[in-house]
Amino acid sequence: MMSTAYNILPSVTRHYSAAYPEVDMRLTEHVPNLLAIDIREGKRDVGMMYRPEDCSGLDSRTIFSEPLVAVLPKNHRLATREKISARDLADDPFVSIPRAIAPVVYDLIVNCCLAAGFRPRIKLEANLQQTIVNLVGEGLGVAMVPNSMQAMHLDTTVFKPLVDAPVVEVAVIWNKDNRNPCIQTFVQTAEEVWTALRRGQPA
């Protein structure tokens, strides 16, 4: 899942390649729902992604969780606030990932808004979190995205913590019937790398 390139994936790839140089590791960018299908069908060995809505036939290990944050155009009326609530965005058009692509994230966003007393008015949908942030920067709406997307450092956007922010889980998933021994070493590497990153250690 491409958004992991903004937090854990580079370090995991570097550490795994160094520890297991004999393994032929090939990375493929994929949207979450299609990645889960490919793993279930044996087309991919392992994925790093939002925990899928349907885990049937899959095994998984949560590597980390991160809050959703609001991303706003730089000139937005709330851009100078330190923190905002979902309710503050009730009158804004939203840019969102389609539910068919990442149902868990989509539902977190909608349920967060419903709990604040409104249903988000989704103006645009995009499959990739990076595209969502770019569209917000063009003034086409606001969005809620994983905290790690702040690493994009766009001059056209600002990111704001949300009060009672929803939390999304990122997991390593694999097919239960896949006996490739590299899967477990990859999972272990991902856990070790995230532990080091969380403690502020170089990874």
pLDDT at 2: 66
> Where in the sequence is the domain holding 131, given as residue range(s)?
65-167
| Residue 203 within a domain | no
pLDDT at 28: 87
State the burial class of residue 167 (Cβ atoms within 10 Å of its Cβ: 0-12, 13-18, 19+): exposed
Longest dimension (CA), the chain: 54
Percent of the chain predicted with pLDDT > 90: 71
Asked if 145 and 177 sit in the same domain, the reply is: no
Whether 172 shows a pLDDT value over 90: the answer reads: yes
* CATH code at position 104: 3.40.190.290
Q: How many domains does the chain have?
A: 2
Q: Are 7 and 196 in contact (CB under 8 A)?
A: no
Mean pLDDT calculated for residue range 167-194 = 93
Place of tokens 């905002």: 84
- Measured CA to CA, the distance from residue 134 to residue 157 in angstroms comes to 8
Asked if 59 and 102 sit in the same domain, the reply is: no
Give the pLDDT confidence of 5-19 residue by residue, as tens digits.
777 888 999 999 999
Asked if 79 and 154 sit in the same domain, the reply is: yes
Give the pLDDT confidence of 47-95 residue by residue, as tens digits.
998 887 777 889 999 888 899 999 999 999 999 999 999 999 999 999 9
Look up the pTM and report it: 0.87
